[in-house]
Structure 1
Amino acid sequence: MAGTVLYKKGPHWTRYSGITNGPDNGYRKFIRAAHHLTKYQISESNLMQLVRAIAWARHHHLLATTRTLPKPVDSERQLASMLKLDDARLEKALEDCDAATRAAIAEAENALPDIKWMTTDSEIDTLTIQTPAFENVRDAIHLALSNTKKQKNQRGRKAKPYQLDLSRACLKVWQEHCEPKTAKRLDFCREAFDAAGMPLGDKSLEALLSEAKRGRIK
């Protein structure tokens, strides 16, 4: 199989290059718009969650447009390799693989009908964190591998994982505070994408939101 197993070379730069700071004016504009469009119903925690999602999407968008990223064939090779690993080596591979491969696995996890969670202790603080059980991780890797193979044969615009992640974050917050299907929902999402440096036309944004809704919004 062609491609490179990047995680064997240590942590990939796309995972550990840091979050790119966005323009302060863009974030302030989004915060003002979010308050206005939700009629000041949005909570502070949800607002900060969205700002972090915007920063993350902006970071990956800048990476995708300024540096040479791994090719889909590299993701395919890595996903196939991961299926042969035991739990400990799989956990390390998930930490070290490139961002696109990790995002493809996360995207597949969103599409799984049911997930078992396991609790682990955080190395940073005293909190415990929940992560999908390894059996579900392998199910997600199988699905991500299948999706990656299918995408090689698709034509036209392909939604990027970080765009879908931002779309889901927007939809989740909007549904908590507003009616799901209102005209202002598109305006709300557009403000987030503009703040992330990814302006999209109405049709492209609607298509992206529709694709995001097909996965599970957590």
Structure 2
Amino acid sequence: MMHQPPAWALERSERVTPDGFLESFREAWERTERRFLKLECWQSYREAEGVRSQEAFEAGDIERARRLLEEEAMGDQPLRDEVKARGLEFTRVRLLDLPLTGYLRYEMINYEVRDRLGERMEFIAPPSPVEGYFDFLLFDSHTALIHDYGPGPVGHQTGGWLTHHPATLHALSDTIADLRTRGEPVPALETYAATFRT
């Protein structure tokens, strides 16, 4: 099973539906004062139905996919403005297992667009197999949301888990610190250039 959260990560957690995940995100976001970290591990995801940029990319229309991704990214400008106004650290830590999957070639266009708009991303080749990691969101040291993307091989969110358990929050923070210390950073420009390599 790929990218499944281990038992320690779910200890004292609350199972949430996709709607509950979004509501828990909003509540945790309002309480966040210092940092928001997102760990992204899956090498392939299925976006929600009707995501036109992914449909365009899969149809081979790369320029249309880019235009649509730029439109989607501009819709998040209020969030970027809020992050700046509140002085938050907002970082997406993306694990990579090269060569890139088709999904990640699509997503690299998105990352490149968002990087130009000021979003912060770190690309890391992990020190151990990427399948052993799992996706989560960490809000300061008070809340984490752990994604449930099913058993794989393509992640499609079915809800997740909400936790405030201090030991879990500490371990999740340590996971990112360990990746930053022992993983191999992948330069952004090299990563974006890899988008269209076969």
TM (normalized to structure 1)? 0.27
Which is higher, the Rg of structure 1 or of structure 2? 1
Does 1 or 2 have the higher relative contact order (CA < 8 Å, sep 6+)?
2
Q: Greater helix percent: which structure?
A: 1
Q: Greater strand percent: which structure?
A: 2
